[in-house]
Structure 1
Amino acid sequence: MKFLSNFTIEAIATIIVLIIVVVLRVLFTKLIRRYAKTHSNIEHRTNLVIKYIHLLLNIITVIILIIIWGVQKKDLLVTISSVATVIGVAMFAQWSILSNITSGIILFFFFPFKIGDTIKIFDKDFPIQAEIEDISAFHIDLITADGERITYPNNLLLQKGIAIVREKIEDKDFYD
């Protein structure tokens, strides 16, 4: 009981922050799902973006709670800089993964293609025309007209020119 009386303000602030986080998670989830419905995006991609947003909110929440509970600024800065250094070294080694995840989020919000579309990727060495079979956080799966399966990294999609190919209209004989 003595613990609660000594840290009443911190406990109340923690409860308020947790309530705000829950409300923000629900709000962001609804906004992203509404955006996905209006842009005909698939549920799988929507769920990935929602997970990324929730992860970001959780990290911010932990930082806020650390500040609320009075961790000394000097200790906090040493801890954050140490963690940032370790994460920076790990991410530098894994820049491709981070690049693909970031590209996946950009593709979700700003690119008009979806599963089932046929796209043409303008690569001078290896041009590709294929149908999109799946879009994930790291890559898209393509199937060519010959049945060849291609896994193409998301970050390369942002670097190359892409065209959405319209379905060919079959020539039909018209009789009088």
Structure 2
Amino acid sequence: MFNEYYKEIISTIIVIVVLLLLRVFTSSVVKSYAKVTEINDHRTHLMVKYINIFVQVLALISLFTIWGVKANQIYVVLSSAFAVIGVALFAQWSILSNITAGVILFFSFPFKIGDIIKIHDKDFPIQGEIYDIRAFHVYMRTAEGEFLTYPNNLLLQKGITIVTMQSDVREFTD
């Protein structure tokens, strides 16, 4: 049996090794980028997770191809899965838009934890300190001590002013 599937077994081992190397490489690249730009650790781990899921899906498709699963069979399974996912996401489009906005906020990095921002909303203007930035929403604390959860997609749609930025207080010693 080993001789019969020799090429497939070797190719599978190569795909698994490449998958592991890509996970380590992309993780180190994202973490070094986050360190240089001073991005929150939670956001960094979230982006590493998203990238790892994408790489695993590519590896899975490669393994299907190696083991002789026909392309039209993969298309039928994927189109069925995407149809179900599409209906679910259409019903929950705000979740997808918040995740996308979270990715955009991660890479554009317009503000960070500790910044006091003012959100220019005609009906409900908000000013508060950013407490935490997550994949779906931002936690803020107002001057009155209220804790707010604000969706990421609205942060990209509304005008925002950074009132004060968090400053690094450092003591210099000789």
Q: When the two structures are superposed, what TM-score results if normalisation uses the length of structure 2?
A: 0.91
**2:168 alignment counterpart:** none
Partner of 1:144: 142
> In the alignment, residue 163 of structure 2 is paired with which amino acid?
V
| Number of the residue aligned with 1:100 | 98
Counterpart in the other structure of 1:131: 129
Distance between the aligned counterparts of 2:68 and 2:49, measured in 1?
29
CA distance in 2, matches of 1:73, 1:109: 35
Q: Which structure is larger by alpha-carbon Rg, 1 or 2?
A: 1
- CA apart distance, 1:124: 1.1
Give the corresponding residue for 1:47.
45
Q: Give the drift of 1:111.
A: 2.2
> Alpha-carbon deviation of 1:93?
1.4
Kindly indicate whether residue 82 of structure 2 is the aligned counterpart of residue 66 of structure 1. Answer: no
CA distance in 2, matches of 1:134, 1:15: 41
**1:122 equivalent among 120, 123, 126:** 120
Q: Determine the C-alpha separation between the residues in 2 that align with 1:78 and 1:61.
A: 19
CA distance in 2, matches of 1:6, 1:109: 48
Displacement of 1:145: 0.6
Q: Secondary structure at the match of 1:131?
A: strand
Mapped pair 1:89 → 2:92: no
Q: In 1, Cα distance between the equivalents of 2:89 and 2:54?
A: 16
Distance, in Å, in 2 between the alignment partners of 1:69 and 1:94 is 36
| Percent pairwise identity | 55
* Local SS of the residue matching 1:5: coil
The number of residues matched between the two structures is 165
Q: Are 1:156 and 2:149 matched, yes or no?
A: no
Distance 1:47 1:124 in 2: 35
Query: CA offsets, 1:112-141, max 9 Å, x none?
Result: 311111011111111111000111111001
2-structure distance, mates of 1:108, 1:75? 37
1:75 aligns with one of 35, 53, 73: 73
Q: CA RMSD in A?
A: 1.1
1:84-131 alpha-carbon deviations (Å, 9 max, x no partner)? 111111111121111111111110110231111101111111111100
Q: Aligned-pair distance for 1:38? A: 1.1
> CA separation in 2, counterparts of 1:40 and 1:163?
20
- In structure 2, which of residues 15, 18, 40 is the aligned counterpart of residue 17 of structure 1? 15
Gaps spanning 5+ residues in structure 1: where? 168-176
Q: Which runs of 5+ in 2 are unaligned?
A: 166-174
Look up the match of 2:171.
none
Query: 2:172 aligns to what?
Result: none
